[in-house]
Each structure stands twice: as C-alpha cells, then as structure tokens.
Amino acid sequence: MVSVNDLKTGLTVKTSDGSIWQVIEFQHVKPGKGAAFVRTKMRNLRTGAIQETTFRGGERIERAHIERKRMQYLYPMGDTYVFMDNESYEQLELTSEQVKAALPYMLENMEVSIADYNGEILGIELPTTVVLTIVEADPGVKGDTASNVKKNATVETGHIIQVPLFIEPGEKVTVDTRTGEFTGRYNG
C-alpha cells in the first residue's frame, strides 16, 4: 500500500476493481477551505484508457509491481509477433491486439520492454524516439513558405506521419513514440 501523498509519475497502482493504472501526472491541492486532495491523470495499462481521478489526502491505494523485461522484436508470424528475451534467449509470441499501439514504430531487431504483471503481459514499452525511413511523401507545394506547414509521409512500417515540406522519400527521421510526431532528421 502507498499513500496518495507519495504518488510519483510512472508509479503503477491497482484499484479496488483490479485495474492496473500508471500515474501520468499528479497535483497536490490544498484549498483554502476543506481537506487537501490529490488530483491525478492515470493510464489503464490493460486498455490504454486515460482517466482523471481525485483522491482524498492521505488515502492509501495498492501498489502494483510491474516487471519489465528487455526483449528484442524478431519478426511477425501471421497474426502474432515474436520477441526474444535478451538474457535467456527464450521466445515469446504476442498477439496483434497486445502490440497494436506499438506497431506503427516497431522494426525488426528493435529492443523493447515487455511489461508483465503476475504473468499477464500488459504491453510493450518502446524507446522514446525511433529512427524510421520515409518511403513515400506527398510533394511539397512550391512557393508554400508559411512556417509549420506539414505534409503526409509514409514510414517503413506503413504508418503515416506529418513531416515538414522539405522531407523527401529515402530520408531517415526521428519520431516520438509517445505522440507519433516527427521530431527531426536523423543524422547518423
């Protein structure tokens, strides 16, 4: 059990209904009148839903211990995706439903973390940014010089992202896996 006064970003908790939540942000509020409370924004690790919840100050909730294993994504196999444990070399197959949020950014041989709660796979945690190659991009309109003008571009995973007009097919770009946004050209 942990007091809501001790919540931190990234902490995982289990609610009375058995849901597993990760704290995204929190705020301690001490109003002029009445008791203090803690306002939180949390993500359900099973469904991906984000919810705002308010707790009374000093309230206690159960902490959920999530084990994270470093694994390497090997290849897709039909409707499943094969991963290998970096330490034991054991292979693990996950369904497309379990990996769907990560699919737009997953490349073969990429290292990921698999979140496990008491033997239940909760999902995949990708690196914050990934390097992807642009395979197709809409043409930039000549003379369109307004700042922050974007165009659609398809990356090697088949996902479509918004990029600046000067990005061309064949270029490598970095993409934030949390937001899906273009963050810059890759210079490597």
Instruction: Indicate the pLDDT class of residue 140, thresholds 50, 70 and 90.
Output: confident
Percent of residues, the chain, with pLDDT higher than 70: 96
Which fold, 2-63?
Answer: SH3 type barrels. (2.30.30)
Which fold, 129-185?
Answer: OB fold (Dihydrolipoamide Acetyltransferase, E2P) (2.40.50)
DSSP 87: T
Q: Indicate the helix (H) or strand (E) that contains 96.
A: helix 96-99
Q: How far is CA 78 from the centre of its chain?
A: 24
Cβ contacts of 92-101, under 8 Å, gap ≥ 24: 92/121, 94/121, 94/124, 98/123, 98/124, 99/123, 99/124, 101/48
Encode pLDDT of 43-89 as tens digits: 888 887 889 999 998 899 999 999 989 999 999 999 999 999 989 99
Which fold, 67-125?
Answer: OB fold (Dihydrolipoamide Acetyltransferase, E2P) (2.40.50)
User: Residue 166 pLDDT more than 60?
Assistant: yes
Which two structure tokens, joined as six digits, stand for 128?
Answer: 């914050």
Encode pLDDT of 90-122 as tens digits: 999 999 888 888 899 999 999 999 989 998 888
Q: What are the domain boundaries of the chain?
A: 2-63, 67-125, 129-185
How many whole angstroms separate alpha carbon 93 and alpha carbon 34? 52
